[in-house]
Structure 1
């Protein structure tokens, strides 16, 4: 096993490896996917989140072993980048990779601090009467603008991948999760609006986001609203069409 640690957790290396080795027999299940599984557990007195990435097929194993960073490594590295740029994400603790005698990737794991959050963007989308909905959207837009200014193009910027914690005086903290798909680049204003498309925003939400982003960026509000609405509608149509075709093929 190869293990890379956050320097602040160096003294916990043995305990971290024990949690990884007992991943399938211990811990509380959070997500059970076909290839990825997420559990929570305790690293001594600290609650942690462990994400398991299933062993890839031979071709992908070769790619991840010699040509591209693994999902576990990307999660760890990207979390460090975000924290270095004051963009909140659960603190990365370690990543672990199993390798065979040919140095090909097997199973891998990413461990971070567990965030006990209040809700996600998904709740706002499904509930137009959600308390302080507009205020939260404005603060979320500020958070996304800050992310864009740090040259972060979060390719999985979707409703369930931002955890939200309410603080005093109606201030909200936003934490990015599921980090292994990111690009680090200068984003045009069109790319920035495109980055919101997976949020599944309503027309009213588009107006709020566009107005706030225009204030922050100095761009024209009507321009951003039209651009964001176009990107959102195109994405919704694409997903709706995909679901329709899947149902037709399944009949």
Structure 2
């Protein structure tokens, strides 16, 4: 049995306690999410509220890949969060990660600070009359533009992965979560528009976001809207087709 435990210097004083919590994950904390793939718990440690994400144990082949060829999801989450913060992009602060190996990766955990957010992006989709919706969408577009300008291609840019905090006075903060699928690369206009496809945007939402992005990027509204809508509709059609095929089985 071999393990790799990395903790942010700001949290080094609680390293021993946190390591103990991770080794006793099943017995500590309160469940936030208990899914088939991943489990998230929240724990209180030295007066701080932390979220711990335990990733699903990979199959035999993948476990060897994660030990020798590719960084684990936990490690990527920690390192990507650190990069985002360096860019001035908000995400729950990365505290630590733990990898346990035994003939491959057996367990992995990512620890971050708990964020008391007000709602997530899904609310804007499900409630067209959400208060200040248009303003929030414009600020979200500015947030996404900042990602792209810093060469961040967030491959899981989907409705549940942006937490939103209302600071009052029409000012909102956006926090990215579920970070392990990300590329750091030059973002062409095509890649930027494709990056909006998973957000499940309505026609009205596409209009608002395209107008704001066109101003920021210096493209025409017509070109921006057309490409964003094309990628958005293609993705929605693909997902709906999959759902239809499942229903027929």
For the criterion TM > 0.5, the same-fold answer is: yes
Who is 2:133 aligned against? 133
Task: Give 1:237 deviation, angstroms.
Answer: 0.5
Residue 97 (structure 1) aligns with: 99
Q: 1:55: how far off? A: 2.2
CA distance in 1, matches of 2:225, 2:177: 27
Task: Name the CA distance, whole Å, in 1 between partners of 2:15 and 2:244.
Answer: 49
Q: CA deviation at 1:57?
A: 1.3
How many Å separate the matches in 2 of 1:143 and 1:28? 31
Distance 1:73 1:192 in 2: 26
What SS does structure 2 have at the residue aligned with 1:170? coil
Q: Distance in 2 between matches of 1:180 and 1:65?
A: 16
Other-structure match for 2:24 = 22
Q: Which residue of 2 aligns with 1:193?
A: 193
What secondary structure, in the 3-state scheme, does the structure 1 residue paired with 2:107 have? strand
> How many residues are treated as equivalent by the alignment?
247
Task: Give the match's secondary structure for 2:130.
Answer: coil
- Unpaired runs of 5+ residues, structure 1, are none
User: TM-score, normalized by length of structure 1?
Assistant: 0.97
Partner of 2:112: 112
Q: Provide the rounded CA distance (Å) in 2 between the counterparts of 1:207 and 1:241.
A: 25
- Return the offset for 1:168: 2.5
Distance 2:57 2:137 in 1: 38
Q: Is the deviation greater in 26-35 or in 187-196?
A: 26-35
Corresponding residue for residue 147 of structure 2: 147
The answer for the alignment partner of 2:35 in structure 1 is: 33
Structure 2 distance, partners of 1:127, 1:55, is 36
In 2, Cα distance between the equivalents of 1:136 and 1:23?
Answer: 37
Deviations 1:126-182 (A, max 9, x none): 001000000000000000000001100000000000000000211000000000000
Among residues 32, 45, 48, which one is paired with 1:46 in the alignment?
48
Distance 2:221 2:81 in 1: 32
Structure 2 gaps, min length 5 = none
Q: 4+ residue runs of structure 1 moved beyond 4 angstroms?
A: none
Question: What is the alpha-carbon distance in structure 1 between the residues aligned to residue 59 and residue 128 of structure 2?
Answer: 43
User: 1:28 offset after TM fit, Å?
Assistant: 1.4
Partner Cα separation in structure 1 for residue 144 and residue 56 of structure 2: 31
State TM-score, norm by structure 2. Answer: 0.97
- Give 1:10 shift: 1.0
Match of 2:75 in 1: 73
Q: Which residue of structure 1 lines up, in the alignment, with residue 235 of structure 2?
A: 235
CA shift, 1:225, in A, is 0.4
